[in-house]
Amino acid sequence: MRLIKFIWSIPAILTTVWMLPFLSAAGEITLSQQNFYAGEKCRLKIAFPSNFTRQSAIAWTINSMGAQLCAGNALVNPDGTFEIEFNAPRLNPDVSVKAEFICRNVSGTPAVPLFFRSAEIFTPSAAIDALKLNVLKTGEAEEPLTAAFKTRQIPYKQISSIEEFDGQALIICGMDFDENQEVAKALTVLAGQGKKIILLPPLKGHFPAGSRQFDQILLDKSGCIKRFNKDFDLPLTAGSFTASARDEAFVLNCSNQADGFSCGIFKTGSGAVIISTWDLAKMQETDPSAWYLLKIWLLNTENVKISKEML
């Protein structure tokens, strides 16, 4: 099966580029995202540095593994940006391929890496099946994520209370910890039993994370996603949390402000509590980074090396 699909003919590309002026823009261009679903129609916004000549015609191309995937021309807007659409190549399940975005007639701008990733990330499904993933129903907050699970055929069981949890991994989307203190305390106990607990926004209140029962603790902002894979796009953030000491233990104070931490990982043996204000349900609509991050959290947390960063 061929993985690459050309959507422009080589002669047409060469003829078009020959007619365009050769331009200059010292500095790196900025892309709206670098990760895309394989086999889908993609949209990308590109921004040039401030010294670039405005309203100039651009000839662009996307190459991978020595072959050209697609190419085209575009006019740069007065603000130095332009948008393109292209068809990403199809890939086998759980496969990622690196590519390069290149402005062919612009000097001084290096190629920018792109990554095409299969949407069939949990195939084969033996590992995710063994997890017996549970999702706690907390209202409507979990519905965008569970709808995405169904679309991507990711197996899960929805539960109505923490007492019903019978798997190895639990996802909770949306919780007011002040109103559910017993549930919050139960989560750290479950982590101590080797379970994976993932808390996603919207989050409110004070989460008693503790500290003594955890081997490793990480608190970080949005750039933390690069710890898991340096090629992931930065996630959308829905709030943040701060950390404070109370009764010789960590307490995480969650809010809808975006000036605090966005990711906290508390590891104990093979178990972990992962709390994040990243809106993975929204991000996954156009960016596979969300799924590949979730896969690491669910299946490979033990292999993530975390320095003990205590506040």
- Structural domains for the chain: 10-117 (2.60.40.1930), 126-303 (3.40.50)
pLDDT digits (tens, 9 = 90+) for 256-287: 888 889 998 888 888 999 999 999 999 999 99
Q: How confident is the model at residue 8 (pLDDT cuts 50, 70, 90)?
A: very low
pTM over 0.75: yes
Please report the DSSP string for 169-223 in residue order. Answer: EEEEEEEETTT-HHHHHHHHHHHHTT-EEEEEEEEEEEE---STT-SEEEEE-GG
- Residue 248: its pLDDT value, please? 63
**Range in 21-25, 86-90, 92-96, 151-155 the model is least confident about:** 21-25
248-277 burial string, b = 16+ CB within 10 Å, else e?
Answer: eebbbbbeeeeebbbbbbbbbeebbbbbbb
Q: What's phi and psi for 97, nearest 5 deg?
A: -130, 135
Residue 113 near residue 99 (C-beta atoms within 8 A): yes
pLDDT digits (tens, 9 = 90+) for 12-52: 322 233 333 434 344 578 899 999 999 999 999 999 877 66
- Residue 4: its pLDDT value, please? 33
Looking at every residue in the chain, the average pLDDT score rounds to 82
